[in-house]
Structure 1
Amino acid sequence: MEPFFKMKVGNGDEFDITDKIPDLKYLGVDDASSSPQFTNNYQDLSGKDGSFFVSQTLAKRTFNERFVLFTRNWEEYQLAKHEIYKLFGQRKLIRVRTDINSAKVYFGYVNAFDISPIQSGANYANLTIPFDLPKPYRYSLYRSDSPYTFKQAGWQFGMNIPSRDVLNYHFTTNSFKVYNASDIKVDPYFQKHDLKMIIKFNGSSLKVHNRTTDTTWTYNESSDGNHTIIWDGQLLSTYLDGNQVNGKTDFGYLSLDPEWNDIECTGANSVDITFSFPFIYLI
């Protein structure tokens, strides 16, 4: 596969950077600066030796992407330099995907960078563009319930997928297993991770219980199976046919451990439920 650097600015379409700046060649990420930034939190107690571990978080980090710019003359060099800064200076969140991680993306904001010729008067330059990642992860290119997730462009080695043939995220039984291919727990409550349930059910109420993480969400009113209920974990909100109905719930939430999660639905005669989320990766 030829090296590529594809980006999506804000809500725009994805494009290859060489389509905008043909003289720019992608060299890859600087691995020395892209490691996860683990931060341990401790508590000191008076009269007790040492410190007590409280929690571990992942701090924001920076990916340094390396390029080389080679133009035919000094005038073209100046024009290309202008186009690069114009492209990255839009003050919007940028989604990045590269050939090495073609089925993963990250979201970052460009930090300050210089474009300087190799020597005075030269028409080529090596440059490094740093991206600050407020959320320090890579994500799967597609969501779990996308028809493209397990197609050729939707997965790659190193994504914790045991077999594309056995994974399913749409269920019509009252008990089932959900596979989380992420490196970490998908936790919408404590970590604001993206997790949605799209539900239709027939019955007096519905309680969804993840027995693996012991988390639950309950819809306390009846439904005839003809209405769509969406629980948006990142917003901790529930919608009935597009209208917010948090008051009809117990304000609960679900999280997903890595690998298999045992889910049980009670209170309903029949259930049609889809789990929709991107897989989360540390590298």
Structure 2
Amino acid sequence: MIVDPERVAAVVREIADEEVGKRFGKLQAGEIDTKSGPNDYVTLADRAAETKLERALSDIYPAAGFIGEESAAADPAIVDALHGDGSFWIVDPLDGTRNFVQGRKEFGSIIALVEDGELRQGWIYAIPDGKFAIGSVGDGVIWDGDKLGPLPSAAGRLKGSRAIGNIDDKWKPTIVANLRSRLETESIPCAAYSYLGLLQGKRDFALYSRCSPWDHVAGILMLREIGGEARYIDKNEPYSPPVSQGRPMLVAGSQDRYRRVCDQLLGGIAEP
């Protein structure tokens, strides 16, 4: 099923602006908490936005289940449903919470709809900018009202982003050494803005080692719609929504970018 993308965008904008945007720079100490570690923040804004988004999205598509980042933090087993059939909303109410807490204007809301394991629709809302990327399978991607097309071929040294702190030790020495010597990268503090940069050609690729569905499903669907690629490069497997920990996943805005980065990271692997 494909839902009305503009209807979803309208409710996401309303809730994110109210529960997240209006709290930016105004959080009290008691409204900030941590989860898995001292830098893994969760705030009143995350929780309030997720609660409202669950209600609003369920009204739009009642038959779809709901998997939110904060719900999954409380009960990780809910993500296992993605291994089976059915439709699910996958939601990160506030991506880039650390930026949000520390006063940096790169944070957003990420929404995706999957059906029987297939990526169907995605929304990325850049809250500080008030701009949306919206994608539906087979229908392309809209960014701030304009349709995005395939990226032109990349010339020169490829530039990308990385979040590889959890990468498996089997892959770490080769990948880290090749990233440093062959490619130009920066860290990823916010998946929403990382994917928006890839869609616009501001960055050529991103490399991840911890792949939670609420961070990746929407952005990967959109990249595929403009001719990009997302694969686990350890076994050359296409990305799928369940959580992956430790495996290196490469995403790129075009097939040529993907192949070039693979060549430089691993000395070449089978083409997608």
Same fold (TM over 0.5): no
The TM-score bracket by the shorter chain reads under 0.3
Considering fraction of residues, name the structure with more helix. Answer: 2
Which entry has the higher C-alpha Rg, 1 or 2? Answer: 1
TM-score normalised by the chain length of structure 1: 0.26
Considering fraction of residues, name the structure with more strand. Answer: 1
